[in-house]
Structure 1
Amino acid sequence: MLSEATGIARSKLTKGLQDMISRKTLFRAVAAVAALTLAAYEPALAQTATETTAEAAEAVAGAVEAGGVPQEVQFIFNTMLFLIGGFLVMFMAAGFAMLEAGMVRAKNTSMQCLKNIALYSIAGLMFWIVGYNLMYDGVDGGYIGSFTWFTHSEHAAEDITYAAATSDWFFQMVFCATTASIVSGAVAERVKLWPFLIFVAVLTGVIYPVTGSWQWGGGWLSEMGFSDFAGSTLVHSVGGWAALAGCILVGARAGKYGPEGRVNPIPGSSMPLATLGTFILWLGWFGFNGGSQLALGSLGDASDVARIFANTNTAAAAGVIVAMILSQIMYGKVDLTFALNGALAGLVSITAEPLAPSLLMAAIIGGIGGAIVVFAVPLLDRLKIDDVVGAIPVHLVAGIWGTIAVPLTNAETSFAIQLVGIVAYGAFTFIATLIVWLVLKATTGLRVSAETESLGLDAVEVGVEAYPEFGVGSQRM
């Protein structure tokens, strides 16, 4: 989010809207735009424009010359950015589902699909019940908002403040769900369904909103000058820390690590699905980063969103190419999974500051993210931390890198304050999520039985196999 903002996104939309122009004026302005468009292509039709439309065009031209755009028009475009950005980020839920479905074994595919649609739904409810206001309501330079839920207005159609908050709620909610999606893939193939979903409820309802309030809610880190434009740390590293705590406690999949440090690769079931998921995530990232501009009501905002799109795409592309080259050098072949995660690491890396860099700097930042994946994956294996989809290298390590890199292109930030934010988010999130995982392990248990893990979670926990002709059910026929 913008470093100069108060952290409360909805305030940017509602500022000054109490004296906005009337709906009639808006209609006349739109009619003027239509008339001017017709004038460019159909002079004969333009001659039939009414006197009212001509007057409106003159009024709009005067407003633009004076440096202003009618406030209701600004509000419409700002809200449109929030909603379009929001449904693009929502589409990332499908990307995570397909990526994880392809990276796990066939016998666990339905479980990953179920977890992803369930966690998105839980995030949607928890962010309404407690998360949004905990993140944004009354933080005022502190550490936490209020434990109240986001409520409807009795006059929503006429209440411009409520309308602004509603579009912002949707936009922020899908970010919250993304954080939980990161955890899902890392602990796949050996975690029980219901304990995982309980963890998701706590993460999306309390832990993520509390950490989000520190920066985007106008909390203590925002007051210090910490900068994280779209969430390299607030979203991605928070999800990465939660995933790391889960992977440590639940342990590695059976057969993943052998004696004397041997690593036994466990191939995924469908690389086409994993590739599709990566492309969906790449597309959704334009809403993730572009929507975080928080405004589209001026020429400057529109130019900034375009710049963000270009930098986001360039960083992802550089991440892919660097990961491919390093994979070839280090292993003698190009590993598709490194290429896919290289794209995602490039995207995560540029997310902390996608506006300020030049295209060259965006490529450098994203390329380093791609390199991080190639080096971090074997490091985790040496530590016997089994991360099925590579979520920890992509979201945690690349998220830290992207946040550290912000001062390279944004002169208003400092390395010291960025490090303070990284350490604060890491310490709080890892400890808080570790406690939740420990409580679940002691009460409900986290890991499925050895027999269930061998048969596959689809057959035992879900009851619907993704590929029944190849699964346990077919073997019984």
Structure 2
Amino acid sequence: MNKTLPLIATLATLAAFPAGAQDAAAPVEAAVAVSADVAYIFNTLLFLIGGFLVMWMAAGFAMLEAGLVRSKNVTTQLFKNISLFAIAGIMYWLVGYNLMYPGDAWTITGYVGDLFSPKALDPVGTGTAEDGYSAASDFFFQLMFCATTASIVSGTLAERVKLWPFLIFTVILTAFIYPIEASWQWGGGFLSEMGFSDFAGSTLVHAAGGFAALAGAIVLGARTGKYREDGRQQPMPGSNLALATLGTFILWLGWFGFNGASQLAIGSINDAADVSRIFVNTNMAASGGAVAAIIVTQLLYGKIDLTMVLNGALAGLVSITAEPLMPSVFAAILIGGVGGAIAVFVVPMLDRMKIDDVVGAIPVHLVAGIWGTMVVPLTNDGTSFVTQAIGVLCVGGFTFGVSLVVWLVLKATMGIRVSKEAEISGLDISEMGMEAYPDFVQAK
């Protein structure tokens, strides 16, 4: 039997419904029941399209970081972003996926999943409609979240971390740390059982990446010359704000896959409507974050700071990620707006603590991620503030604690920081042996 017939029949049925704004009020007498085959196809497409949109966020992180670091460190930052993505792909397949989604094969039930069981894809030419979607499409989509977590760490530690220790940490983060804490919620672990809610990962992905970055920044220390003895800080502007802005727009676009495909189904009219609602709320939260950053920087500094506005938009996106479906549009704007303001206020707080975060990933991903998670009960009565707080504390404590130990071990065994001379000359020369902008050599 031709497998395209159910899809054609369904599309023909849908075409019979009133179309256009003028017909919007016409009632629909009966819902269209799609076949299991059609639902399988649409659900699989949602995972695949959402997955490659989230993959495109890797380009966004690369451009954002390349624009916010100094020109002598751009090549190194670009290398870190492509290498961490490749490492995440292999390690998540080898260890992470089944550790995160163990089914009934928990090593420690509810806490540690199935170790060292590489993911098996669908057999060639086969698919089971009753499964609801392709197993390979699910793996592909979930992998992108793992890579995103590692990307967050990259920007914070820029301009002074050695490459090989960073890559080793990436292996541990993507193979073990992220899959274990994410399994507590998305794999059916103890947080899921207690009613914790994190729709697309404000805490499980973004705050987790922020906690790992915070641990690394504390152990690594600030860039040479960043904080003066008199307590003031030395501005170290990025190399290319056009690249940083491009990176922000790429991330904004990719977020529609990040949040939208986290609905996990689009094989019914209701799911399609919900995915559309998620897209709108995601966009409005980003807008709210950007506008809030514009207003706050103007009031605080007398001038608008573009880098703060970029991070304000990203903080708005992070904030809505924990619950992009249930809020009204107005609530989404407010949630994103508070996230954008948080990003502006937390940056000077970190500077006062002499925690050097080159791209502002800790305010955007960690702090705004916590805010987004904690505000969920205001629009979703399926959880509570206490439950949300427990989830944040568990994920944060585990991720920060394990990351801190890993960074300290790496520091004691092989060192994690380049020499002062290498830092001054730039990591592009000391670590990579090539410059991103060879025609504009730094004065020595």
Q: Which category describes the TM-score, using the shorter chain as reference length?
A: over 0.9
Shift of 1:162: 11
TM-score between both structures, scaled by the size of structure 2: 0.93
**C-alpha distance 327-37 of structure 1, shift in aligned 2 (>3 A):** closer
In structure 1, the gaps of 5 or more residues are 1-22, 41-63
- How much identity, in percent, do the aligned residues show? 63
Does 154-163 or 132-141 show the bigger shift?
Answer: 154-163
The partner residue of 1:187 within 148, 157, 162 is: 157
- Code of the residue aligned with 1:152 in structure 2: it is A
Alignment match, 1:171: 141
The partner residue of 1:103 within 50, 62, 68 is: 68
Correspondence 1:322 to 2:282: no
Mapping of residues 126-275 of structure 1, within 5 Å: 126-137=91-102, 138-139=105-106, 142-152=110-120, 155-160=123-128, 164-275=134-245
- CA deviation string 1:186-223 (max 9, x = no partner): 00000000110000000000000000110000000000
Alignment match, 1:298: 268
- Code of the residue aligned with 1:28 in structure 2: it is L
Alignment match, 2:21: none
Alignment match, 1:416: 386
Shift of 1:28: 2.4
Q: Secondary structure at the residue paired with 2:200?
A: coil
Mapping of residues 387-402 of structure 1, within 5 Å: 387-402=357-372
- CA deviation string 1:387-439 (max 9, x = no partner): 00000000000000000000000011100000000111111111100000011
Mapping of residues 336-355 of structure 1, within 5 Å: 336-355=306-325
Distance 2:122 2:288 in 1: 50
Distance 2:279 2:233 in 1: 39
Alignment match, 2:333: 363
Correspondence 1:116 to 2:81: yes
- Is the contact made by 2:122 and 2:135 (CA closer than 8 Å) also made in structure 1? no
Alignment match, 2:33: 68
**C-alpha distance 316-258 of structure 1, shift in aligned 2 (>3 A):** same
Larger radius of gyration: 1
Shift of 1:459: 1.1
**C-alpha distance 172-151 of structure 1, shift in aligned 2 (>3 A):** closer
Alignment match, 1:276: 246
- Is the contact made by 1:320 and 1:340 (CA closer than 8 Å) also made in structure 2? yes
Distance 1:174 1:29 in 2: 31
Correspondence 1:30 to 2:3: no
- Code of the residue aligned with 1:204 in structure 2: it is T
- Is the contact made by 1:207 and 1:432 (CA closer than 8 Å) also made in structure 2? yes
- Code of the residue aligned with 1:342 in structure 2: it is G
- Is the contact made by 1:356 and 1:410 (CA closer than 8 Å) also made in structure 2? yes
Shift of 1:102: 0.2
Shift of 1:148: 2.5
- CA deviation string 1:107-151 (max 9, x = no partner): 000000000000000000000000000000134961011113334
- Code of the residue aligned with 2:110 in structure 1: it is G
Aligned-residue Cα RMSD (Å) equals: 2.0
Distance 2:391 2:56 in 1: 29
- Is the contact made by 1:238 and 1:396 (CA closer than 8 Å) also made in structure 2? yes
Alignment match, 2:20: none
- Code of the residue aligned with 1:144 in structure 2: it is V
- Code of the residue aligned with 1:343 in structure 2: it is A
Alignment match, 1:13: none
Distance 1:31 1:348 in 2: 38
- CA deviation string 1:25-73 (max 9, x = no partner): x432234356668999xxxxxxxxxxxxxxxxxxxxxxx9576310010
Distance 1:31 1:270 in 2: 49
- Is the contact made by 1:245 and 1:434 (CA closer than 8 Å) also made in structure 2? yes
Shift of 1:179: 0.2
Higher helix share: 1
Distance 1:67 1:31 in 2: 13
Correspondence 1:311 to 2:284: no
- Is the contact made by 1:187 and 1:387 (CA closer than 8 Å) also made in structure 2? yes
- Code of the residue aligned with 1:244 in structure 2: it is L
Distance 2:190 2:163 in 1: 36
Distance 2:12 2:200 in 1: 38
Correspondence 1:90 to 2:55: yes
- Is the contact made by 1:141 and 1:223 (CA closer than 8 Å) also made in structure 2? no
- Code of the residue aligned with 1:238 in structure 2: it is A
- Is the contact made by 2:197 and 2:388 (CA closer than 8 Å) also made in structure 1? yes
Alignment match, 2:25: none
Distance 1:162 1:439 in 2: 44
The partner residue of 2:344 within 356, 362, 374 is: 374
Distance 1:341 1:133 in 2: 34
Q: Secondary structure at the residue paired with 1:76?
A: helix
Distance 2:177 2:121 in 1: 27
**C-alpha distance 38-386 of structure 1, shift in aligned 2 (>3 A):** closer
